[in-house]
Amino acid sequence: MSDPYASRTAVHEQATDGFGTVRVLRLVPEADAAVIHRWVNEDRAVFWGMTGLTERQVAETYAHLDTLATHHAFLVVRDSEPVALLQTYEPESDRVSECYDVRPGDIGVHLLLAPAGPGGTRSGWTAGLVASIAGYVLLGLDRRRVVVDPDVRNEKAVTRFLELGFTAGPVVVLPEIDLPDVYLPEKKAQLAFLDREVLFPG
């Protein structure tokens, strides 16, 4: 089977024995909207905040994001199969900065995993994928710490981050953002942090 993503230049690529090759690609809104639209409209993705959007609206959302210098979106592909939507952002340019003291070297991350395939979940799959993504975010971008802010009601995501080595921070309320191009409702979030030394000591 041909790889529909083979022509794209990866910002990060990592091959792991027994897991496969993970490539982090810049999201192309028009080309990737169908895949992302499918993911964000599943019940499990309700906390992503895009449920009910049309494919066109998804493309427009990420086209707008693409104009920002501080927020970026990526499609994560494993062996030619899209497996996650990754968003990175500079915390000092995000509403999260109103809720904690941003340190030099911090980077914010939002991560939406693709739905499990017909075989269901596989032991170690998420950890392997996140390790590859962390390689890009912490080493490739030379950052010291990752911050995540899942909705406090999203217990599955919170638990997953803690199991992956994140340390729980405070529960905070991210303020509402109401701008001409962006609307984000107020969100009660569980902050969590991952220091580079946890995954990459030395």
pLDDT digits (tens, 9 = 90+) for 36-48: 999 999 999 999 9
Q: Write down the pLDDT at residue 181.
A: 74
Q: Which residue matches tokens 């090759």?
A: 21
Other beta carbons within 10 Å of 95: 17
Q: Write down the pLDDT at residue 142.
A: 97
Integer Cα distance of 133 and 123 in angstroms: 18
Integer Cα distance of 130 and 46 in angstroms: 21
Helix (H, G, I), strand (E, B) or coil at 30: helix
Pairing of strands 167-174, 177-178: unpaired
Helix (H, G, I), strand (E, B) or coil at 71: strand
The answer to whether residues 129 and 113 touch, using CB atoms and an 8 Å cutoff, is yes
Identity of the amino acid at 130 = V
Chain-centroid distance, C-alpha 86: 3
Low-confidence stretches of the chain (pLDDT < 50) are none
For the chain, the straight-line distance linking the first and the last C-alpha, in angstroms and rounded, comes to: 41
Tokens of 169: 């921070």
Q: Write down the pLDDT at residue 121.
A: 59
Looking at residue 115, what DSSP letter applies?
A: P
Q: Write down the pLDDT at residue 3.
A: 86
Closest-CA residue to 95 (of 188, 194, 16, 192): 188
Query: Model confidence over 127-150: pLDDT tens digits?
Result: 889 989 999 999 999 999 999 999
Q: Which domains does the chain have, with CATH numbers?
A: 12-199 (3.40.630.30)
